Amino acid sequence: MVARKVCVRGRVQGVFFRDACSREARLAGVTGWVRNEPDESVAAHFEGPPAAVEHMVAWCHEGPRHARVVEVLATETSPTGAVDFDVRM
């Protein structure tokens, strides 16, 4: 079990990034959360098997169809024991 904290910058709010991220995470078997930040970035916490978490970090580089990702910063963090994937406000 590994965990990554991710910050995604670009045109990532108002393009259903959080909803698409949540669907992709559930399909990948990843738990954690995703939320919009006041600076118009999107933050996420992914945890699960290493390959699944890396899949989600890679997914963030593209995001949903209307997103325009400029930068993805991913850092290793500790798993929290999350049991689901939540969209936070």
pLDDT digits (tens, 9 = 90+) for 22-45: 999 999 999 999 999 999 999 999
Domain ranges of the chain: 2-80
CATH number of the 2-80 domain: 3.30.70.100
CA distance linking residue 27 with residue 32, whole number of Å? 13
Mean pLDDT, the chain, integer: 97
Express as a percent the part of the chain with pLDDT over 70. 100
Residues with catalytic roles: 18, 36
Strands (E), the chain: 2-11, 31-36, 42-48, 68-77, 85-88
- Arithmetic mean of pLDDT, 70-89: 97
* Residues 55-65, mean pLDDT to the nearest whole number: 97
The pLDDT, as a whole number, for residue 51 is 98
The predicted pLDDT at position 89 comes to: 85
